[in-house]
Structure 1
Amino acid sequence: MKAIWKNTVIAESDETKTVENNYYFPMESLKKDFFKESNKQTRCPWKGLASYLTIEVEGEKNEDAAWYYPQASHAAKPIENYVAFWNGVEIKE
């Protein structure tokens, strides 16, 4: 699977996991040059506290367009430190 934004592959993995129709990519599959930590956090009732990443490609930013659970709840442990995307990031095989 590939995560693509602005015609650029920003993550690629054969080991994604699907939860609630979102593909979660292993943290090590991200092309780190395109990501910056964000201060945003949200709480999911069953997965826990989510942290966000901002994507930047060729000077254009997609604020908080990726999220992950650094300390997922017991029920969500399989996706701990796996990253999902939204806000215009395309997921393709």
Structure 2
Amino acid sequence: MSLLATISTVAVASYALLSSVHKSAQALYALRTDASLPPYDPVDTGALPSVDVIVPCFNEDPRTLAACLKSLASQDYPGRLQVYVVDDGSA
């Protein structure tokens, strides 16, 4: 076997080994643990910044706009949330 063939074989074997180790580490990292999350501490909503959302629209389909606003209304941000719908002269 020539030196080039030996180096190629070692390189391919090393790549296969590293690939297997990487995939195994990904699988182990993705497993859920049995440790429970710390208890939820309610946040003082007065200390949170307010969030303003601007929804620009121009001749939007009403169903699309309704879905967008429904999604915004279902946010669980405990602070103040203001939504502005800006229509730029739709027909």
Band of TM-score, shorter chain: under 0.3
TM-score (norm 2): 0.20
Could you say which structure has the higher strand fraction?
Answer: 1
Higher RCO (CA 8 Å, separation ≥ 6 residues):
2
Which structure has the greater CA radius of gyration? 2
TM-score (norm 1): 0.19
